[in-house]
Structure 1
């Protein structure tokens, strides 16, 4: 499969790129700093900002699917909302249609009244608001989207021992390794078990 990956230089994005290449996919990654991505077989790096339409359109032009692991820093711009708006504009031509996006547990329908969600919004309000606005753009789009709701992410090894579901209730002890979430996201691209749904994941 030919994948366009956005957020490829982030801590999770790097793992997704690595796992995608190990699974034999061809990867195109967009980066403002191409030198930050080591050259690899089947990996093409395009310089550019995810908020600019021209490089984004170039990144997805031959892709079978788009994967976004964009993430906002507390005091940074609303990169998830702004970048996703650009990605959706580039995908408006109708190809590719498959879109897999990493988001956070605690936004949209997963924003329940538990202590974990309340604490998350208290500590990471700007980050979660950005993700919530991002999801609001994706849901009515014509893309074949899946939203992957992550708990606390760790740098642990791939275990294959995790649970997924649309109604999981995550808590302060919920976590998953970046390697496991990368494997799940890449598997979901092919299995399409959660098409046009938000799915939570935890170990």
Structure 2
């Protein structure tokens, strides 16, 4: 499969790119700093910003599916919503329809009245608001999307031992490794088990 990956040099994105190449996928990765990605025979690196329509379109050329691991920062609090708006516009029409996107547990309909969610919003309000706006844009699109709502991410190894579900309730102890996130996102591209649904994940 030919994948267009956005957020490719983030902490989760780098792992997704690595696992995608290990699985034999062809990858087109967008980054503002191409030097941060190691060359690979099946990797095409596109330099640019995800909010640039031309850069997004170049990344999508020839792709069968889109993977987004865009992550917000306090100094750039709207990058997820603005970035996915650009990607969706570039993909409209002849672009790939399949989209698997990394989000956060605690946004939209997973914003349950629990201590975990309340503290998350207290600490990361701008980031979560950005993710919530991103999810709304994805839901309104005509893509075949899956949103993966993650808790705290760790740098642990791939274990293959994680739980997923649309009704999964996460607590303060919820964790999952970036390697397991990568495995699940890439598997979901193949299996379509959560097509047009948002799914929580935890180890």
Could you say which residue in structure 1 is the equivalent of 2:25?
25
The count of residues paired between Structure 1 and Structure 2 equals: 203
| 1:33-182 mapped onto 2 (5 Å cutoff) | 33-182=33-182
* Structure 1 residue 76: Cα displacement: 1.7
SS in 2 for 1:38: coil
Alpha-carbon deviation of 1:74? 1.7
1:77 & 1:36 partners in 2: Cα distance?
Answer: 22
Map of 2:2 onto structure 1: 2
Deviation at 1:61, TM superposition (A): 1.6
Contact 2:8-2:30 within 8 A present in 1 as well: yes
Distance in 2 between residues matched to 1:32 and 1:197, nearest whole Å: 30
Distance change >3 Å, CA 4–CA 158, structure 1 → 2: same
Q: Within 2, Cα distance between the matches of 1:94 and 1:132?
A: 27
Looking at structure 1, the residues matched to 98 and 61 of structure 2 have their Cα atoms a distance apart, in angstroms, of 13
The answer for unaligned runs of 5 or more in structure 2 is none
**How many Å apart are 1:41 and its aligned residue?**
1.9
Normalised to the residue count of structure 1, the TM-score between the two structures is 0.99
Which position in structure 2 is the counterpart of 1:199?
199
Q: Find the aligned partners of 2:173 and 2:179 in 1 and give their Cα distance.
A: 18
Unmatched segments (≥5 aa) in structure 1: none
Measure the CA separation in 1 of the matches of 2:174 and 2:44.
35
RMSD: 0.7
Looking at structure 2, the residues matched to 27 and 92 of structure 1 have their Cα atoms a distance apart, in angstroms, of 20
Between the aligned partners of 1:195 and 1:90, the Cα distance in structure 2 is 21
